[in-house]
Amino acid sequence: MKLTVIGGGGVRSMFLAKSIAQKAAELHITELVFMDNDGEKLRIYGGLAAHVSRMLNPELKFRLTTDAVDAVKDADYIITTIRVGGDHMRVREERIALANGVLGQETTGAAGLSFAMRSVPALAEYCELIRQYAKPTVKVFNFTNPAGVVSQTLRDMGYDFTYGICDAPSGMLHQFADLYGVSADRIVGECYGLNHLSFFRSIKIDGKEIMPELISRDDAYRETDMRFFGKDLLEHMGCVLNEYLYYFYYREQAVSNILHAPQTRGEVIEDINRQMTAELSKMDIENDFESCLKCFEKWYGRREDAYMANETGIHRNKAWTFDVFAPDAGGYAGVALRFIDIVESGKAGSMILCAPNQGAIPGLRDNDIVEITCDIAPDSCTPHKVTDGDERALELIRRVKAYERLASKAIREKSRTAAIDCLTLHPLVNSYSLAVKLVDSYIALNAGYSDGWK
């Protein structure tokens, strides 16, 4: 079986390689290809990933390539994780939003529309190659942000072999398992909503409901990503929230914190990635892995410590290391591998995935892409029906889904009008006059990546 990663020159490539190499024999993955159109980043980060793969599974055929056709030819599964325009475009589009007093965050905020203007055309080109050259049964797992808008738009364009994946819900469940001192396979969460806008309606260990107890535990607000919320909010809502809902429930606080911080999240990442890449570029990737790993740990640890710190004022302050041989915690590769495991084994299983709604969440269309717990089988993906959804949550989900639908229309038709409508409806913009300013700025910013808007 052949698995391909498009965007294999990303800084998190080692994580992907570790996840896949550890599971390859069990899942019958015999060939792993990392592709990137940036040859130097592929040499550095893809090279580190190749070393990890060889350490864990020397039998796995691992290749690096800049040739997209070679990468997707006869592929059974493909993961896409690309950043069109690089880190600096993120910085610019987030600053445009902040200059107008609006949250810029690249997935949840207004800048997500701008990012999607670049992401979708590039991914559509890859999807056409995939249609032509990959296996007819190919499945594509998209991790490219903003995953909600991108996944919706790709499906609206007819690429029904694509699924959106995100490690935020599964990551939280792993944190809760650690909090309770149990293995991750003993904890199950029922999740519903949209990407970066999802709500847990149940969390169980060995079939026993723990969510009310979890919300009441003070240490959960120190040891897990519940740290971004006050206990009063979770008690008020009666459920556990996706960490990105911080931007909705503490909107003015988030914007103020970012404006008063010395750097935005995008600027922090741009600075760290630039310095890390520059340092690694002078090192021997092939023959001095240990020194390269120490360099990577130093810089990536700073990135992890700064996660949502400028927005919330909360630092993780936990030493970060990358242990090649430790059991894999999953991450977003783990989401894709869970799907592959279920399909290839022929056994039924459930997981949290971005997939068509099919009537699961009331008030949404069947073809709306939602993030929800699904039953996976070799030939189907069936979301769990939400019969007990919180109306407060459902109202927010419906509003943001309206934004995503219009964003999809705007990108597919290059329609300025639809783009203005989508940002006018976005709860974190909620203004026609601001939407006009933002849309015109983003169309200008993306000229050359996505032109011909009307």
Quote the percentage of the chain above a pLDDT of 70: 99
pLDDT band at 301 (very low <50, low <70, confident <90, very high): very high
- Predicted confidence at residue 181, as pLDDT, reads 97
- 318 pLDDT above the threshold of 80: no
Determine the average pLDDT of the residues in 177-186. 95
pLDDT of residue 6: 98
pLDDT at residue 329, as a whole number: 67
For helices 416-425 and 111-133, the axis angle rounded to 10 degrees is: 120
- 14-51, pLDDT tens digit by residue? 999 999 999 999 999 999 999 999 999 999 999 999 99
Q: 220-225: long-range contacts at Cβ-Cβ below 8 A with a sequence spacing of 24 or more? A: 220/176, 220/179, 223/175, 223/178, 223/179, 224/172, 224/175, 224/176, 224/179, 225/171, 225/172, 225/175
Instruction: Look at the block and give the residue holding tokens 């396979």.
Output: 185
Q: Is the pLDDT of residue 150 over 90?
A: yes
Q: Above 90 in pLDDT, residue 314?
A: no
SS3 for 81-120 is CCCCCHHHHHHHHHHHHHHCCCCCCCCCCCHHHHHHHHHH
CA atoms within 13 A on the CB side of 202: 16
pLDDT of 317 above 70 = no
Q: Are 355 and 382 in contact (CB under 8 A)?
A: no
Residue 333: predicted pLDDT: 85
Extract the tokens encoding 25: 């024999």
Spell out a b/e string for 94-109, using b for 16 or more CB atoms within 10 Å of the CB, else e.
bebbbebebbbbbbbb
**Cα 94 to chain center, whole Å?**
18
